[in-house]
Chains A and B, each alone.
Chain A
Amino acid sequence: MTGREARRSEFGVRLFGDRIFGLSTLGLALVVLGLIIALAMVLIQASALSLYQFGPHFLISSDWDPVNDLYGALPFIYGTAGSATLALTIAVPLSLGVALCLSELAPAWLKRPIAFLVELLAAIPSVVYGLWAIFVMGPWLRDHIEPLLARSMGFLPLFKGPHTSVSMFSAGVILAVMVIPYISSVCTDVFAVVPQSQREAALALGATKWEMVRLSVLPPSISGVVGAIILGLGRALGETIAVAMVIGNSASISASLFAPASTLASVIANEFAEATTTMYQSALIELGLVLMAVAIILNIVARLLVGATRRRVGVR
């Protein structure tokens, strides 16, 4: 073999190796891409029976009657929207407070430990949240917070009715605790992107720290903050086990926060393994399909908003 031929064959081996490696990583990348497509297709296919039987009426019907094989998603859509709204009402101000405290106020030596503790909240498994909510938080809310709300704002239908430890209220509060780390960590990231010079400009004009936040930090990060909130909303909608443990699992629509309810995710968790008829199972899967569609749309919108903030201030 001449030197030239040897070089050529080595070059061939090299190209061959590149091709094998390139194709295998390409294949694995395609698996990831295929996964989300498969997810959507499998769910549509598995809920076809119910999709065909009930059509769009499924979304507005409040019948949930497995005995007569009649299914409607409205009670669960209501429960999901209600508990998530309550969660965000509590979580958004707190998350903004945490994020501002971390990015603007805390001295450097305190930032790391606080950020770390908030991150720990995100690491606790949701079944542990549920356990704590059943035995500790729920009874405490029932004995102390619910009577307080009933006394001060009892004229609202929201706060009428008997006080219970398993209720939409408990679910909303535990959800709030669970989504705060998500919202606050994205907000902290968003605030960190605001250039230091903008803060200094406000301070140089004589602004107090709060005025600096109002003038230079919040305006450029507003879309990112909205994105963070939507990301938190997506989490709250999809959270399953902790909610299933404290919401009381009732397929009824009640105006009172103190009444038991059910969310899309919690009803699937509770009833799927016992769904005996194919129609029952198909209807539950359709609930999952609705949940997935909403979660995916919210996720995309949130990522676009957070990305927009980064681009606006010129950081990637």
Chain B
Amino acid sequence: MVSATPLVMGHYQYRKAKNLLMMGLTIFATVITLIPLFLILGYLLYKGASSLNLAFFTKLPTPVGEAGGGMANAIVGTFELVLIACLIGVPIGVGAGIYVAEHRGSQLANAVRFAADVMMGVPSIVVGIFAYALVVRPMAGFSSIAGSVALATIMIPLVTRTTEEMVLLVPHELREASLALGVPRWRTTISIVARTAMGGIATGVILATARIAGETAPLLFTAFGNRFWSTSLTGPVASLPVQIYTYAISPFADWQRQAWAGALVLTGIVLALELGVRAVTGGQTRTPR
């Protein structure tokens, strides 16, 4: 017993050291992971804020080589694209989500849920090609409606899945109480189930909106881009992400400066939506993935 003690103690020290090392590594990994977040936000504030001015929000882009100008048309364009995408995507997503939740277990409901899951894994650039072939080709030109269709396609599965989850959270007793009072099934679903789940569904819609507002790839050859004012549904329209992309890869210092300003505004919009939702819901919801 006495002779065994040093050995046991040695092994114990080894186990303790190993524990400390591994647990230390997890903290290290967390710190390493968060460093880029702070660096990105820091650079956005540092480089973006110094380039932001009133002209950025009110002026059109200037021709190459001419300093000044802004991204007013791109900001408006982004709002237009996202708004129309929501008009297309939200009814489809919410309706499909209600169907899947209310017909839980049926083969069709499972198929739709599976389709939505698969859609979430489709790269956004592929969705861009889809909208190009579906809308741009027949209309023979880039258009904001094509961009909105692409964004709606990305949004629909997200909204479908959150709606389903939120509707499933509604207690069954509520449905039964309503049905027992003689309320028809459809009114029960709309006035009781959907209304109870409304907060969650709205949260899901806002998170999906934040997600599509920052998408660049599906807009490159659908909404394309535009140096001028345009809100026409059938013409190409500028958007913040595409404008940032074009300016960032350009060789002109003034454009690069504006790309930082644009990135600050875009990140501000996206994070405001996310943080706003979290503040209201207490951080319980997040974008499905």
Contacts and interface: CB of A to CB of B under 8 A. Distances in A.
Interface of A: 14, 17-18, 20-22, 24-33, 35-36, 38-39, 42-43, 45-46, 93-98, 100-102, 104-105, 112, 114, 116-132, 134-137, 177, 180, 182, 184-186, 208-211, 213, 231, 234, 237-241, 245, 265, 268-269, 272-273, 284-285, 288, 291-292, 295-296, 298-300, 303
A210 B22 contact: yes
Given A101-B27, A128-B40, A28 B91 contact: yes
Contact of B244 (A42, A104, A128, A186): A128
Interface stretch (B55-63, B195-203, B267-275): B267-275
B87 interface: no
Interface residues of B, number: 93
A22 B40 contact: no
Contact of B267 (A24, A124, A284): A124
B189 to A, nearest CB: 7
B57 to A, nearest CB: 18
B33 A98 contact: yes
Given A120-B37, A131-B259, A125 B157 contact: no
B124 to A, nearest CB: 7
A241 B189 CA distance: 41
A120 B241 contact: no
In this complex, which of A46, A132, A211 has the most chain B Cβ atoms within 10 angstroms of its Cβ?
A: A132
Given A25-B98, A127-B244, A120 B119 contact: no
A128 B36 contact: no
Contacts of B266: 125, 127-128
Contact of B115 (A32, A45, A208): A32
Nearest to B100: A29
A240 B123 CA distance: 8
Interface of B: 15-16, 18-19, 22-23, 25-30, 32-34, 36-37, 39-40, 43-44, 47, 91-96, 98-100, 102, 108-109, 111-112, 115-130, 132-134, 153, 156-157, 160, 184-187, 189-190, 210, 213-217, 220-221, 224, 241, 244-245, 248-249, 256, 259-260, 263, 266-267, 270-271, 274, 278, 283, 286-287, 289
30 contacts: A20-B186, A21-B189, A25-B99, A28-B95, A29-B95, A32-B93, A33-B112, A97-B25, A100-B26, A117-B37, A120-B37, A121-B34, A122-B287, A123-B210, A124-B40, A125-B266, A126-B216, A127-B244, A127-B266, A134-B249, A135-B43, A136-B43, A208-B15, A210-B22, A240-B216, A241-B216, A245-B248, A284-B129, A291-B123, A303-B117
